[in-house]
Structure 1
C-alpha cells in the first residue's frame, strides 16, 4: 500500500497540473483525466501516456510544450517521489511527447515483452512473424541510453530525445503502441500516410477503472466515477490468430493494480466498428 493514500496522490498531482499556466483555462474534466493518466504512469499501472495536445489552450504562447512539460514534471518530482521514475520521451522533431515509467519500460524491453505486430501496408491487415527491425533497434538504443544516463547521473533526465521521426507513421506508430501497453501494434508501410484501416471491421476494446472503495475523493473522477485507462483495436479477421489479447492485457493490468494495493476495479468493454479512416 502507498503512503500517502491514492486520494492524496491524486490531489497532489492535480494541484501540480493546475499550477501550470498552459492548463489553467482547460476544462476541469480534461485536466483531471490528464492528471490521473500521468499518475498511473508514475505508479506503474501503465508504461506510457502519449499527450494528445487536448490542452494547448494558448495558441499564441511562445513557451514550447517541452518547457511546459519539463516544468510540470519537475514540480511533480519535488512533490511526489514516485515521479522520479518518469521521463518525457520526445521524437526528433518534437511532434510527440510521452510520459514514460522508465523502470517498467526497461523491464519490458529486456524481457522481450512486446505486442503482436500487425502490418497495415496492404488493404488486408496481416500479423507479422516478428518485431520490425527498426523497432528492435530503437528499443535497444532507448534502453541503453536510459540505463547509461542513470549510471552517470544517479537519476533520470526530465526528457530524452528518441531518434525517430514522429511525423513518419511507419516509424512512430509501432513504437507508440509499445509505450502505451497495446497488445496490438500496427505497422504502416514506409511512406504511407493513410488513410489507415479504411472500412476494416475492428474489435475495439476499452479498459475502464472504477472506484472500489471510498479512498478517492468523489469530485476527482468523472460523474460516473470511471476513468478510461486505455483503448486499442484489432482487425476482427485476426482475432483467432492473435489469441486472447483482451484477457491477457486485463490480467496484466489487474495484477499491477493489485500489487499496488489500489482501490480500483477494472472493466473491459468491446464494440465493433468500421470507419473510413482510423487514427493510429
Structure 2
C-alpha cells in the first residue's frame, strides 16, 4: 500500500472494500468490533462474508470480504482443494520489487504461505459459521518485505510494492509513476475519466501507483488497461450495491522525492 507524500504533512491515502485502519488500542478492541460486525451482517446481507483480520506486527486491522479473498486466491491456493471455484477473477496484484530500479517479481513465498493458512482457517466447516476474526500468525514477526505487499493483497491493490529488505527507508525517490485515483462523485455524475483533478464533490475511495517504465514489460500495466480493469471492477460493485454516486477516474504521471509505504 502506497501513500504518496510530497512533504511530511501531506499524504494521499487510499482504501477500497477492504478497509485498513490503525489499531493503536489493546487487542480486546476486536471484541466490540465482532459484535458490531454481527449486527451489521444481520441487517445487511453484504456483511455476511466480512471478517476482521489482525496483523499484530504492524498493529493493523483489515475488514475483508472473505469470499472475495478466496476467489482471488483460488488460482494459486485452492486449485486442488476447491476445483469448483471459478477462476475469472484476478488472482494477485502485480508485485514490484523495490530495488534501485523497480523490477517485476513473482508472488512472494511468504505471502502464499500466509494466505493458504488464512483460507484454511476461514473455511466454513460442518455447518459452523465462519470465524468473525482471524489473527495472522507466523513464527517470526512480519517485516516490511511481507507486511506491505500483504496489505496490498488484502486491499485488492492492482500493484503491490515489495521492499528490497527489512531496513529499506527510501522508496521510489525520483521514479516516474503512473498514479490512479478513483473517487465517488456525490452529485451522482456519470462515470468519467478526469485527468485534471475532477469535481470538487468527489471523495477518493481508492488510490495507487505504479512505476511508469514497467508498462513496457507488462502490457497489463498500460494506463488504458489499468483504467479499464479498475473501472469494470469498481463500477460493477457499486452497481451491485445500488450506489447512486458516479465513479470519477483520474490518471496522472508524477515524480516524488519522498514516498511513504
SS at match of 2:100: coil
Residue of structure 2 in register with 1:246 after alignment:
227
CA distance in 2, matches of 1:268, 1:213: 14
Residue of structure 1 in register with 2:85 after alignment:
none
Post-superposition offset of 1:228: 1.6
Residue of structure 2 in register with 1:186 after alignment:
161
Post-superposition offset of 1:142: 1.2
1:267 to 231, 244, 248: 248
User: Any gaps of 5 or more consecutive residues in structure 1?
Assistant: 1-33, 38-45, 215-222
The answer on whether the counterparts of 2:22 and 2:59 sit within 8 Å (CA) in structure 1 is: no
SS at match of 1:208: strand
1:131 and 2:107 are equivalent in the alignment? yes
RMSD: 2.9
CA distance in 2, matches of 1:185, 1:116: 6
The answer on whether the counterparts of 1:88 and 1:158 sit within 8 Å (CA) in structure 2 is: yes
The answer on whether the counterparts of 1:84 and 1:156 sit within 8 Å (CA) in structure 2 is: no
More strand by share: 2
More helix by share: 1
1:151 and 2:118 are equivalent in the alignment? no
Alignment of 1:1-280 (within 5 A): 47-52=17-22, 64-93=28-57, 95-112=59-76, 113-120=91-98, 122-128=99-105, 130-147=106-123, 150-152=124-126, 154-164=128-138, 168-211=143-186, 224-242=200-218, 243=220, 244-280=225-261
Residue of structure 1 in register with 2:6 after alignment:
none
Report the number of matched residues. Answer: 219
The answer on whether the counterparts of 1:95 and 1:167 sit within 8 Å (CA) in structure 2 is: no
SS at match of 1:178: helix
The normalised TM-score by structure 2 is 0.72
**Structure with more contact order per residue of length (Cα contacts < 8 Å, sep ≥ 6):** 2
User: Any gaps of 5 or more consecutive residues in structure 2?
Assistant: 1-13, 77-90, 190-198
Post-superposition offset of 1:212: 6.6
Change (3 A) 1:119 1:62: closer
The answer on whether the counterparts of 1:85 and 1:103 sit within 8 Å (CA) in structure 2 is: yes
Post-superposition offset of 1:168: 1.4
Change (3 A) 1:132 1:167: closer
Change (3 A) 1:94 1:65: farther
